[in-house]
Structures are given as structure tokens and as C-alpha cells.
Structure 1
Amino acid sequence: MAWSRPLAHGDSEAPHAVIAPDGDVLVAATYREPMDVGGGPLPFNRSASKPHLLVARFSPDGALRWAHGVIPEEGTSRVRVGGLVIDTQGRPWLGGAISGATLSGTRLPDGPFIARLSASGTVEAVKGFAGEGALTIQAVTSDAGGVVVVGDFSGEQDFGDAVRSPPDGERGAFVMRLDAQGRTRWSRVWSAGAEGFVTARAAGVDAFGGIYVGGAYAGAVCFGGGQFLTVRQRTPFVLKLTPEGTHAWSRDLRGSTGAVNALAVGPDRVYVAGAFSSRFYFQGKPHDAGNHHGFVAAFSADGQERWARSFAATATALATDDAGQLTLSGTHDGALDLARTAAPAGLYVARLQPEKGDALWVRTLESPQQPSARTVAVDVTGHTLVAGALRRKLPPGTPYPQPQDGFLFRLKP
């Protein structure tokens, strides 16, 4: 362990964290109670019915550089962080939803938004989304000159290049490619008809601009190639689009019930991780979960199956590094079979080889509470950053559900 920092935010959403090119750590989270991350109390309104928004920047050794707290207004939207990323120019982008508020002197819309920030956390550009129904940003990833945003929607939504809608009452998935000013270059949506749904949970972009999206679907859906059909409640999928948004390939883990929750791109590889039950086949080999397991699967850039691992743990955060190695994080109940020795229940971080998924090392952190890993990142020096949360025990009658306290920690190479 290099250092760790608590984030006592008391909200049900775990914090997001990313690493800037200079090694600084940016954090975005929501908080429901008075909070101090090292620079004094953040703005707080005890009468607010919605969570507050935090954006902060720490040095590589964990010292606070700055923090901005945003008090929500009584708008219509649920306040949440849907994604945080650093683009190729070193600029932070924040995606999520707010019920109307002001961040560093700039007005944020009531509803879903994507904002480009400066190094000091001021808003340089912001994009809102007009439409009827719900739109939820689930992930934001860096793209040459801008970002790619994925998520879910219902109703009629204006994506900037077209107004789109899934079948009445159903939920569809979207991907948008935005330029440096937040303007839409193009968007794509998928839906599964009246009896199904599609959800996009994770995204990544390779060195050639290819865009990867992971999530889950139910019913029948066509991503641009052949039709996919499942009788499961939801089945994991991953797909690739060209830089222009044309379908390149799509794959699913047919036979399983689950979803892709995290995605990372390496040299000639895309890795997906998530949870599944029942069974799927990969390269002709069965992966049987029984009740519930985590998985990691690797595909080549042209969609060929390379390897897959399944194990008795969750798999919720994933990252690659300059060496092409894979870093995975999640939780386990004491039966973690990634490690060679038994470990008490809690959180784990594992470094995997890119070719076969063999573990180079596994670090476990015991916790009597219910931890979760939200994001993992690796800097150029090989240090690993993990952001997540621990379930807090509060007496009955707490006015907000499932309160958690966030954490950050940095592991040495």
C-alpha cells in the first residue's frame, strides 16, 4: 500500500477516480452529509433532498490539490456520477445527472449532462440532453479530440444528430461520439423490441479509433450484424464500432445470465469483465458458474475469442497499462480462486497476464462490511489506484437507502 484516503460521503453511489498524465488523481462522487476531504468543509445544505456533487483532485502522493462541492437544487433529476475520464489532451470530462446546480460559476442543466473541465475543475464546456423519458449515462471514455459516452434511455431523446426512441415503454442503449466542445459527431442506439431491453454499461477506444461497448441484452437484438436472441433475463455482450460508427463485430456469452460491467482495451485486445450465472462456452470450453461467478474474457481487435476466466468473486473494475497487462478488482466471500492461498472475505486487486489471464499477483483486503470496487487505474509508473465504497451500518429510519463510505488507495507496483 502506498497510501489510502477515506471519503465519508454517506451515499449509495461509490466514487469514480481516474489518473491524469501528471500522476494526479481526480475523483467524482456524490455525498449526502457534511464532508471534508482535506481542504475544509464542503458546501452542504441539510434541507436538500438529493445528494450533493463532489469533484476533487489529489497529488500522486494523495495530498488534496482542490475540491469543489455542488449543492443541488430541487429539480427533477436524480443526482449521480455516470463517468469520469481524462482525454488525450489531459482534460477531465464528467458525465452524470444533476437537478440543476452551479459548478465553478457555470450552470449545469437539470438532467443528464457531460462537462469538460479545466485542470482546476472549472467548467469549460457542457452539454445537456433534451427529450422525454429517462437517459442515464453509464460510462465515458477518451477518444481522439473528444469522448465517447454510453448509457441507457427510454422515450424520445435528442442526441444532437438525431431524435431517437426505442419501442414504447422499453429501454434501449446508446453510444455517442462527441468532439472537444461536446458537440455530437454521431450517435447509435439499439433496442430489443417490446419484450426485451439493451443496456450499455462500459466502453473503450483503441489506438486506431475503434470503439468497444459492453453491456447486456434480453430478447432479440441486432447490433448491426446477425440477430442475437436470448431467453435469459439478460445476457452479456460486447461489440466494436469503427471510428465512423459502423458495426465491425458483436459477440455475446450465450447461455449465461449476466452482464459486462467493465471493459479495457490493450494492444490488439479488448477485455470485458462482469458477473454471470449458469454457463457459457468460450473457445469451446465451458464456464459453469453454478449460482454466481465473475468472469474476464479477452477478444482480439477483430473479434476472435482469445481466453476467458471465471472465478468465485465479482469483477467490477478493469484497466490495462502500458505493458499490456490487465488489472482487475472486485469482491469475494473468502473463496477467491484467483489467489493461491485462502483469504478472508473482502476486496481483491489482481494483475493478470494479457496472453492467457494468469495471475501475476493478487492483493486481498479483508473487510467485515460489504465493499465494492468502482474503478481501477494504473499510472505510467505501475502504481494501481482503486476507488470503491464500504456499506455502512446505520439504525432503522435512515432517510436515504444503502449508505456507503468511499475510499481511495494506491498500491505500489
Structure 2
Amino acid sequence: MEVAASPGGEGEGVITWSRPLALGDSEAPHTVVAPDGDVLVAATYREPLDVGGGPLPFNHVSTTPHLLVARFSPDGVLRWAHGLVPREGAARARVGGLAVDSQGNAWLGGTSAGFQFDGQRLPEGPFVARLSPGGALERVRGFSGDGALDVQALAADGEGGVVLVGDFTGHRDFGDATREAGPGRAAFAVRLDADGGTRWSRAWSAGHEGLVTARGVAVDLFGGIHVAGGYAGTVCFGGSPFVTVRQRTPFVLKLSPEGQHAWSHDLRGAEGMANAVAVGPDRVFVGGNFTGRFYFHGQAHAAGGYQGFLAAFDAGGQQRWARSFDATASAMATDESGQITLAGTHDGALGDLSAGPGGRTPAGLYVARLLPEDGASLWVRGFTHPGAAVARSVSVDLAGHALVAGTLSRALPDGTPYPRPQDGFLLRLRP
């Protein structure tokens, strides 16, 4: 991957180190920064893999993805790595989210293929597990029921526990109650305590043939929980009902620490998805992609094609500002000062996001740092690759370094037994 554009200040956004992950999988890796600056990565892999400590376990016969969990030092030196082999005959494995709590414990959520870990078998299907800072498995639990359940994101709750969000069909026992998705696909949020026990759960459905999905979650300093995603049909999150005739309309909502509805908003008129949510001092930032038109803080935002958006609310849910641009917005994080780090892909026109003069640049991946007051750009970096590049997750350490994880497509020989092979990458960028 090469730097294609750097209109920011000298040295800002420069790669300090990178790690390729030859995964051979279509699932992009997740990354998060621990309080001590260590970098945690979780991903699935379908080919023999070595992340710096020797080859990880691999079953050459299996066509089901294996599971990687690794921890690197702030300088990118491997501390430990686990490679988990799927149970023979298992159909699926997926990383849905990764978070780290204030004690440095890693929380991992997703779909297990019956993996063995530290002598324990992770329950096949949806699961959440907690790993110690040294990589030992400390807690694991599943969610029994029927239908499909996908964990889409995790966030530490500031009290040693975690909040996970996603979507499901059928019925699921979340620990406090069995929730029903109805005839369509429903979104859920579950708050777990430090032992993995359920504090509460919520589910939101959109009725017959409707859909609600939660794609991002963030917890503020006061324990407020913010959830972002998309819906189709009619849905009520606890306030006034939302109705859309679009295939998907982005939404964001806030829950109290106890799971009660505080406020909710949608981008009425837009068709698309809110992919990420992040919080800063008295600010809630929502990023995603859309077509169509929506109004925000009295200003119209229109997209003839697929474009990105970033919208800011205050802690009470009042609209502050929004930006739309000719690029996708797929991952986002904030730092201690509230500055936003945004990542996605672009087709060569970074002028809408550029901190300086615009212009055409080679298409590819971008990472931008923006001011919380109005979304103005501090710096933007573009990166090119011969194939498609996708940013999956962004995290920022206490010094302001941005960690970006995603995938790079590559061609494999004919006869590859799995679709859409991609490799992963991990970048650390200077503040």
C-alpha cells in the first residue's frame, strides 16, 4: 500500500508501522488500542498464517475460517497470538466486534465454529469471550435460540463490562429475557457485566418484512450508550415512531446506562446506513453512506450516487453540523480532545475532505482527522493498492496515533475453495 495524497501538515498521518495479514478471507480484521497503548487484532483466516511468533495452527483440509486473536506492543512487536482451528463440519466463523476495558482485558464477539481455546470449547454460533491482558480465556458465553444472530460491534461500558449490538431473526435468549425478532430482522443491544452476565437487553423490530440492524456502538463518560445503524419499514426505539419507504435509512439513538431510551433520530429522506458512532465531550458523531437527500441543522445534503456522511449531535440529541463527501465513511473513532479520525474509500476525489487544495488523486483508502466543532479537516491521507481496499475499524491511542485495520483484495489461483479472497492490513499513523 502506498501513500497517494498528504495535503495535511508535515508528518501528520504518516505510517509509523504496518503489518500485513495474509488471511485469504473476505472478513476484514478488527483492531482496538488498550489503555497501555498495546494494539489488539481479531480476524478470521483461511490460509497458513504467521504474525511474528511462528506459524499459527491451521487445518489444511478445512474450508471453514480459522480465528486469530493477537496483541502487539505500541511499536508493533508481537506479544502473543492465538490461532483457533474450527470444529470439523462447522459451517461458519466470524469476528463481529472487539473491545478492551480499562483493565486491558479484551472482549471478543462474533460467531464461533466450535473453536477450542485454553481447553474450553467456545459455543458454536454467536458468542462473547473475555481474554486477560496476557491472552488467557477468562469468560465465555453464548446466546441460545433459533434463527440467525450477528454481532456487529462491541464497546466497553466503563465499569468492566461490555455492550454488544447487532441483528437477529427468530428468537434469542439474551440472559434477561427471550427476545423475538418478528417476521423480519431485528436489531439488539445487550449490556454484560464484568463476569459476562446480562444486565439488560433491548430489541427493536420493524414489523412485517421490515428490517432493523445496529452496526455501531459507543459509550460516553457518563455511561450513555449510543447505537447507530439502519432500518426499513416502521420502527419505534422508545420515542416517536420512524417510517421510511427507502430500502435502508440511517438512524442513531441514545440509551441511558440502564438501557432506557433517551433520544433517537433518523436521516429522513436518505437511503443508506450509519456504519459507525463515536463520542466526544458533549458530542455524538455518526458516520455512514447514503444516496438521496436529507436535511440536517437546516442544511440540505444530496447525493446523486453513493456518498459518505458525518453528522454531529450534542449530548442531548440536538443537531449541530453535518458533512457529506464523495467517499465512503466506514469506520470512525475519537481521541481525548474529541477530534474525529474517519476512514473509508474514495474514487479519486478527496477534495471534499481535503485540508488543503483539492484535486484528483489515485483511488483507494483514505484516513482523515477532523475537528469536533465543525468537522473541518486537519489532515487527510490517501493510500493506493492495485485491488480494492476497505477500512473496517479505527482506534486512537492516548498519544493520538490512529490504528486502522481493513482488507486488500488479491487474486488467487483458479479452484480456490472460498469466495472473494482478501488479505488484511494494520496501519499505525502519526497524530
Q: Same fold (TM over 0.5)?
A: yes
Q: Distance in 2 between matches of 1:333 and 1:368?
A: 13
Does the 8 Å contact 2:63/2:418 carry over to 1?
no
Among 284, 295, 317, the alignment partner of 2:331 is 317
Displacement of 1:410 after TM fit?
0.8
Q: What is aligned with 1:354?
A: 372
Which residue does 2:404 correspond to in 1? 386
Q: Which residue of 2 aligns with 1:331?
A: 345
CA apart distance, 1:76: 4.7
Secondary structure of the corresponding residue to residue 11 of structure 1: coil
Unaligned runs of 5+ in 1: none
The equivalent residue for 1:51 is: 65
Please give the residue correspondences for 1:70-219 in structure 2 after superposition, counting only pairs within 5 Å: 70-74=84-88, 76-143=90-157, 144-168=159-183, 170-219=184-233
Residue 139 of structure 1 and its aligned partner are, at CA, apart by 0.5
**Aligned counterpart for 1:265 among listed residues 254, 259, 279:** 279
The Cα offsets for residues 56-84 of structure 1, whole Å up to 9 and x where unpaired, read as: 11111111111110000035552000000
Post-superposition Cα deviations, 1:131-156, rounded to whole Å, max 9, x if no partner, equal 01111100010102300010101111
Unaligned runs of 5+ in 2: 1-14
CA displacement at 1:166 relative to structure 2: 1.8
Whether the 8 Å CA contact 2:270–2:293 is kept in 1: the answer is yes
Following the alignment from structure 1 to structure 2, what is the Cα–Cα distance between the partners of residues 20 and 89? 9
Determine the C-alpha separation between the residues in 2 that align with 1:149 and 1:231.
28
> Identity of aligned pairs, percent?
67
Deviation, structure 1 residue 244? 0.9
Q: 1:313: how far off? A: 0.5
Tell me what 1:406 maps to. Answer: 424
In the alignment, the residues of structure 1 paired with residue 182 and residue 126 of structure 2 have an alpha-carbon distance, to the nearest angstrom, of: 21
| Higher RCO (C-alpha 8 Å, min separation 6) | 2
The residue number in structure 2 matching 1:61 is 75
Aligned-pair Cα RMSD in Å? 1.0
Aligned residue type for 1:260: A
CA distance in 1, matches of 2:120, 2:132: 12
Aligned to 1:305: 319
- Give CA-to-partner distance per residue, 1:74-129, whole Å, 9 cap, x none: 35552000000101222110001111111232221111100010112111011111
The Cα of 1:195 is off from its aligned counterpart by 2.7
Find the aligned partners of 2:89 and 2:292 in 1 and give their Cα distance: 42
Residue 18 (structure 2) aligns with: 4
Q: Which residue of 1 aligns with 2:8?
A: none
Whether contact under 8 Å (2:64, 2:90) holds in the other structure is no
Following TM superposition, by how much is the alpha carbon of 1:382 offset from its aligned partner in structure 2, in angstroms? 1.4
Is the contact between residue 104 and residue 121 of structure 1 (CA under 8 Å) also seen in structure 2?
no
Provide the TM-score with structure 1 as the length reference.
Answer: 0.98
The CA deviation string for residues 322-355 of structure 1, in whole angstroms up to 9 with x for no partner, is 1110100111010122123332111111000000
Give the C-alpha shift of residue 411 in structure 1: 1.0
Letter paired with 1:81? V
Contact 2:109 / 2:127 at 8 angstroms: preserved in 1?
yes
Aligned residues between the structures: 412
Contact 2:30 2:97 in 1 (8 A): yes
Q: Which amino acid aligns with 2:182?
A: P
Query: Which letter maps to 1:361?
Result: W
Equivalent residue for 2:358, pick from 341, 344, 347: 341
Amino acid at match of 1:181: D
- Given that 2:273 and 2:290 are in contact with CA atoms closer than 8 Å, whether structure 1 keeps it comes out as yes
Match of 1:222 in 2: 236
Post-superposition offset of 1:368: 2.3
Deviations 1:133-189 (A, max 9, x none): 111100010102300010101111101000111213x11000001000110000000
Q: Which one-letter code corresponds to 1:164 in the other structure?
A: R
* Residue 374 (structure 1) aligns with: 392
The answer as to whether partners of 2:63 and 2:417 remain within 8 angstroms in 1 is: no
Q: Which of the pair is proportionally richer in strand?
A: 1
Kindly indicate whether the alpha-carbon contact (under 8 Å) linking 1:345 and 1:368 is maintained by their aligned counterparts in 2: no
8 A Cα contact 1:273 1:316, kept in partner: yes
Q: Distance in 2 between matches of 1:246 and 1:75?
A: 41
1:365 aligned partner, one-letter code:
F
Give the structure-2-normalised TM-score: 0.94
Secondary structure of the residue that 2:115 maps to in structure 1? strand
**One-letter amino acid of the structure 2 residue matched with residue 148 of structure 1:** V
Q: Which letter does structure 2 place at the counterpart of 1:406?
A: G
In 2, distance between residues paired with 1:195 and 1:134?
16
